[in-house]
Structures are given as C-alpha cells and as structure tokens.
Amino acid sequence: MTRVACQQLTPAIGDLEANRALSLAAIEEAVDAGAEVIVLPELITSGYMFESTEEAAQVAIAPDHELLREWADVAARASVVVIGGFCERGDDGLVYNSAAVADAAGVRAVYRKLHLWDNEHAIFTPGGEAPPVIETSVGRIGVVICYDLEFPELTRSVALAGAQLLAVPTNWPLFPRPDGERPSEATIAMATGRINKMAVACADRLGLERGQDWTGGATIVDPDGWVAAESRAPGMVIADLDLQSALDKRLTDRADVFGDRRPELYGAVTR
C-alpha cells in the first residue's frame, strides 16, 4: 500500500515567502503522517486571482528556483514524492500555470497546464506538451492540473502511458450544487479512476481570494473509483492506496478497461 496525502491550503496571493513557508510546513506535516506521495494545490506558491500577467510575473519562479529545490530537499531526506502547482516564469519570459514533481532525484518534471480555465487565458500562456508520467519509488505518477481533469481524452492518454496514480493540483472555484452532492469535479475524479483503473489524488484550496470562493474539494480516489478520503475543511486528507492494483486493468476475468477499447471507431461518429 502507498500512503498518499493531499494538502488543502490557502495561499497568500503574491507572497512567495509566505507560500514557501506554507508549502514546506504542509510537506513536513504529511511526511510526519507517513505519506509517501504528497500533493499540493495548483499555484500554491503564488495564489490564483491575479489581475494581470504582469502581476503574476512578479511572483513567477523558474523550475530551478530555491523554493522548488527546498521541496526536493525534503523529498530526498524523507524519500517521498511531492507534486505541487507553481506560477512559472519560462525561459521564454512567459508565465505558465505549472506543476512540479520532486523526489529524491530533484525536480523530476515540470508540467504546464494545457486547458486554461476562464480568465486564466488573460494571465497565463497554455502549455504545449503532454503531461508527464514519472517512474517513482512507489510506481508511475501522472500529473494534470485542475480543469485538465475534465478532458477525458487527456486523462485516458495519461493512464494509457502507464500512470498508476494521477496527481491533480487544483483550485476549484465554488459553484452551487444540489444538497448532498459532491462537487462535479470530484465526481469526474471518481469516474476517471474507475474508467482507467487508476488512482486520482486532487489537492484543492480554500480561502476567499479577491472575491473568489473555492470548493475545498480535496479528494483521493482509489483505483476502483471509490473515494478513499475527502474533506471540505482546511488541512490534510490521507489514504493508503493499492497502486499495484492499478497495473491490472481487468474488471472481471474477461473485461479489461484498456483491452476492450475500440479506438478505430472513436473518431467515426457522424450524423
């Protein structure tokens, strides 16, 4: 079993130093709880509700910035994997909504969000490369960010590339929902897990930020698509997941979620 933690946090917009301390403390807390994989929210180094690209650029960091190196230092010392969102300043000078994967080997991958949500188009440049699937000490981990999760062609392609766990740094804006229902995004995470026989760990955020409220939808889904842990409160959600079971794509002896695909027909629907 692999212990996976998602930290539901409230970053301080534009305050790199405060968010550095917040993220490091969250990683340490999860390490102390025995987590082997630790997922932090989208843009945890920066906050979200920027008014302009220029404002975001002031807190954007390169992938070799000391903040991410500190994440990797803890990851190395504790032998864990850390996935978290950050506001990236690219070599090209552009600003991206990105996520880093850090482990004992350092910052292993940086992923730039492909599907920008709503006003993010006014702030960030969209990524141009498919998500990473990283071989780690606990198995293969894929990474997408927030709205990316709502594109099943993308999450399927990450699963087909071998991901046993999909780590999802998110900032889910709060939308109304019927009484007793989970957030739509959590339902999508469950379906993504079940359809692909892949675990899904969503680290959401909280805290009113420049008038925007957030869902606080932290959710860990097991490879059968059931919720292993979830919380609407600040702090950590944690679960032990059988990531080995995500290597076996059979639902029954004769039903296989990958083997039963008919890709030659998926583009063929016309009317």
Q: Is 197 a catalytic residue?
A: no
Residues in contact with its own copies, total (CB under 8 A)? 61
Q: Is 42 a catalytic residue?
A: yes
Q: Which of 69, 77, 121, 210: binder of its own copies (CB under 8 A)?
A: 121
112 DSSP β-pair partners: 98
Distance CA 88, CA 82 (A): 17
Q: How far is CA 154 from CA 148, 221, 248, in A?
A: 7, 18, 20
Catalytic residue among 6, 36, 120, 146: 146
Q: Which residue's structure tokens are 């760990």?
A: 201
213 binds its own copies (CB under 8 A): no
Measured at the CA of 202, the angle between CA 137 and CA 166, to 5 degrees, comes to 40
**Which segment (7-15, 33-41, 72-80, 158-166) binds its own copies by CB under 8 A?**
158-166
181 binds its own copies (CB under 8 A): yes
Nearest partner of 7 among 18, 16, 31, judged by Cα: 31
Distance CA 72, CA 165 (A): 19
Residues 6-65 touching its own copies, rule: CB under 8 A, are none
Q: Which of 161, 213, 233, 248: binder of its own copies (CB under 8 A)?
A: 161
Buried b vs exposed e over 119-141: b needs ≥16 C-beta within 10 Å?
A: ebeebbbebeeebbbbebebbbb
210 binds its own copies (CB under 8 A): no
Residue 8: DSSP 8-state: E
**Which segment (78-86, 100-108, 135-143, 233-241) binds its own copies by CB under 8 A?**
135-143
Q: Is 185 a catalytic residue?
A: no
Binding residues (CB under 8 A) for its own copies: these are 114-119, 121, 126, 128-135, 140, 142, 147, 150-154, 156-158, 160-162, 177-178, 181, 184, 187-188, 190-192, 194-195, 224-227, 252-255, 257, 260-263, 265-271
